[in-house]
């Protein structure tokens, strides 16, 4: 019988669990994100020194908590790891009417929370069942 290789599980809202127990300490939560990596097989793991622990994500590794719209071309995201970054508009896509985007220089992906979806929807136009920000067609998967 194969032993489960995942020591960490992260639900779709980016709540972390270690060995089935919730991680509630903010410092540990942030540290886990600082140690997060992905290998060539698209497996996520935490690396601290020579120690590696694999992480299973229910959805995507990051969660967009808030969107600040400066202009249609400059959108700032607040992520669940408490970092902010500018949205790569070309990395934005919809899957089952939920927006996702590339984050952390394209290494990871993030799912938008409901409040973030509401915030970005203010600048999304729907034409013939397609989503646009300005002239840019947003991809669908």
Return the pLDDT at 1.
36
Over residues 87-128, the pLDDT tens digits come to 999 999 999 889 999 999 999 999 999 999 999 999 999 999
Can you give the length of the chain in residues?
141
Q: Which residue ranges form the domains of the chain, and what is each CATH number? A: 6-57 (3.10.540.10), 62-140 (2.30.270)
Separation between Cα atoms, residue 31 and residue 26, nearest integer Å:
8
pTM of the model: 0.89
What SS3 class is residue 68? strand
Predicted pLDDT of residue 4: 58
pLDDT digits (tens, 9 = 90+) for 35-72: 999 999 999 999 988 889 999 999 999 999 999 999 98
87 and 104 Cβ atoms separated by less than 8 Å: no
36 contacts 46 by C-beta, under 8 angstroms:
yes
């Amino acid at each position: 019988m194969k032993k489960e290789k995942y020591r960490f599980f992260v639900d779709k809202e980016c709540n972390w669990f270690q060995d089935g127990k919730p991680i509630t300490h903010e410092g540990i939560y942030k540290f886990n994100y600082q140690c997060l990596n992905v290998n060539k097989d698209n497996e996520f793991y935490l690396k601290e020194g020579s120690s590696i622990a694999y992480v299973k994500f229910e959805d995507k590794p990051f969660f967009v908590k808030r969107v600040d719209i400066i202009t249609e071309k400059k959108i700032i995201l607040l992520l669940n790891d408490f970092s902010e970054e500018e949205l790569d508009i070309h990395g934005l896509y919809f899957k089952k009417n939920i927006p996702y985007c590339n984050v952390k220089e394209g290494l990871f992906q993030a799912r938008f929370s409901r409040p973030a979806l509401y915030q970005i929807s203010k600048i999304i136009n729907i034409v013939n069942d397609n989503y646009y920000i300005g002239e840019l067609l947003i991809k669908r998967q």
